[in-house]
Structure 1
Amino acid sequence: MDDELIPISALQHFLYCPRQCALIHIERQWAESRHTAEGRLLHERADSYRRETRKNVRTVSAMPLLQPELGITGVADVVEFHAGNGREQAFPVEYKRGRPKRHRADEVQLCAQALCLEHMLGQEVPAGALFYGQTRRRKDVCFDPALRKLTEATIGETRAMLASAHTPIADYDARRCDACSLIDLCQPKWASRGHHVAQWLQDQLED
């Protein structure tokens, strides 16, 4: 793990579940599921760098992002540049497989992209959008002070966890855990009861 930069995607993982974030970004574990496969297919169109202009909107796909002062880096799915008032206004768009969530993890990920764009372009980025594959609709997101504060706090908390190189103990929640592609690797029901990995391995050998 780089001491200076953390991936923007880690912020979304952390807010969804700190243990999931640690499994992916500390232990380098991953598992494909139907949901992650659908998400990967949704991103394919935006994952190769290209530029196009339609009706005064210039669109850049797979745009590299960096904010060295906050220590974050990543790639924006799409950044739209809307012409007006003599200059272009950046508007990031992040693609998601499912539908709008109750938590704000997706919004924090998008806000972090905006913070990078503000640093890179020297302009305020007041809003962006999340495009959800299930609804086929955009959800506009305003980068207000509360969301910016949450995003910067999440950056600090994520950085501290990754620097510790410690994977948090599982805290099983059916709605969150049962939808996670890492559930078989995480074993949240079992691990949340305080069992040790060595005992789990022994149980598997005995079975």
Structure 2
Amino acid sequence: MDTYFLPISALQHYAYCPRQFSLIHVEQAWEENYFTADGRRLHERVDGGESEQRKGIRYERSVLLRSDKYLITGKMDLLEVHLEEPHKYFPVEYKRGKPKKDDWDRIQLCAQALCIEEMRNVTVSEGAIWYWELRRRVPVVFDEALRQTTQAVIKGAHDVRVSGKTPAPTDNRKRCRACSLVELCQPDTFRKDKSVTYIKELFESDEETP
């Protein structure tokens, strides 16, 4: 049985582009750009804080997470534990940019919630993402739709890793331009080669037809 624990941060890579995920987590390729470096510095600053308690809330930082059910692990930026009975657990993730229309950030936070639920035998119904550009939190509700999306991403990422095969580039070219791995990935070259191969196979198929 494969018991590899997937980094929670890898789920965002898979949700953004399965090929990016594979290049990083299967082929072990990585290129840092301004955005990734700035995001890393933000997390280092956040993770360096001490745990504290005030006004009935305990603030736990750099919390280690693990789920044996989903085979994921990681470290979260901040967990707020509201100390009224029963305790309420509220995960907070820090991001350097601004809110996105897609679920990439919410998936990462939801995966953290799944780990907390398993580790502490509780239900986590909501959390928040703090965006540097906004200087405020954006609430996230862990509804059934987001949970199913997150579980599907977890499964998809595990499947790609086990297969060892790097998927084709995303069809969304805007994502390629913003990706730190674009020079290693060479998505336009791959798409071009793929088109040539497809046309060749198409004509060979026609020639074989009686």
Q: TM-score, normalised by structure 2?
A: 0.87
What does 1:1-207 align with in structure 2 at a 5 Å threshold? 3-48=3-48, 50-84=50-84, 86-194=85-193
Answer yes or no: is the 8 Å Cα contact 2:31–2:180 preserved in 1.
yes
Partner deviation per Cα, 1:11-46 (whole Å, 9 max, x = no partner): 111010001100110011111111111111111123
CA deviation after TM superposition for structure 1 residue 49, in Å: 7.1
- Larger Cα-atom Rg: 2
Distance 2:191 2:82 in 1: 48
Q: How many equivalent residue pairs?
A: 193
Distance (whole Å) between structure 2 residues aligned to residue 126 and residue 169 of structure 1: 35
Distance 1:34 1:177 in 2: 15
Higher helix share: 2
SS in 1 for 2:66: strand
Residue of structure 1 in register with 2:204 after alignment:
none
Contact 1:172 1:189 in 2 (8 A): no
SS of the counterpart of 1:193? Answer: helix
> Contact 1:62–1:77 at 8 Å: present in 2 too?
yes
Checking the alignment, whether the CA contact within 8 Å between 1:172 and 1:192 is kept in structure 2 is no
Provide Cα deviations, 1:150-203, integer angstroms capped at 9, x if missing partner: 1111111111011111111223533211111111111111122127xxxxxxxx
Which residue identity lines up with residue 119 of structure 2 in the other structure?
M
Instruction: Work out the CA distance in 1 between the residues paired with 2:3 and 2:136.
Output: 37
* Identity fraction in percent: 46
* Residues 72-106 of structure 1: CA deviation (Å, up to 9, x unaligned): 1111111111122x243111111111111111011
Are the equivalent residues in 2 in contact too, given 1:7–1:72 (CA < 8 A)?
yes
Distance 2:55 2:186 in 1: 50
CA distance in 1, matches of 2:47, 2:24: 20
* Runs of 4+ displaced beyond 4 Å: none
Distance 1:138 1:49 in 2: 18
SS at match of 1:50: coil
Unaligned residue ranges in structure 2 (runs of 5+): 195-210
Letter of the structure 1 residue corresponding to residue 57 of structure 2? V
Most deviating of 87-96 and 49-58: 49-58
Which amino acid in 2 is paired with 1:63? V
CA distance in structure 1 between the partners assigned to 2:190 and 2:86 by the alignment: 54
Alpha-carbon distance between aligned partners in 2 of 1:119 and 1:29, rounded to the nearest angstrom? 32
